[in-house]
């Protein structure tokens, strides 16, 4: 199963970005996690069908209406075997 890692920068903390990402990932049938980073970014690990991962990647370019995304870094990741999509503590 394909997996991707994302780092999202901009005004993405304190605007519901993690919750909205979790909802979008679950809607797309993806597994993984999302968390705030101490540098002000949001980190996402997502696993699932390639098409769904592509849709999440597109959505992350703007996120929820309250966010202001300046850039998204994306890389391939190892599958971790998550069930569901969770919010993790800040890392």
Indicate which residues carry an active-site annotation: 18, 36
Neighbouring C-beta atoms of residue 6, cutoff 10 Å? 22
Phi, psi of 32 (to 5 degrees): 145, -145
Instruction: Report residue 69 as tokens.
Output: 């995304």
84 Cβ partners below 8 Å, 6+ apart? Answer: 26, 31
């Amino acid at each position: 199963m394909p997996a991707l890692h994302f780092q999202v920068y901009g005004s993405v903390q304190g605007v519901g970005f993690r919750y909205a990402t979790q909802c979008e990932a679950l809607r797309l049938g993806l597994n993984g996690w999302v968390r705030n980073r101490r540098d002000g970014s949001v980190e996402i690990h997502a696993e699932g069908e390639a098409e769904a991962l592509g849709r999440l990647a597109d959505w992350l370019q703007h996120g929820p209406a309250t966010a202001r995304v300046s850039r998204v870094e994306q890389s391939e990741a190892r599958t971790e075997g998550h069930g569901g999509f969770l919010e993790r503590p800040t890392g």
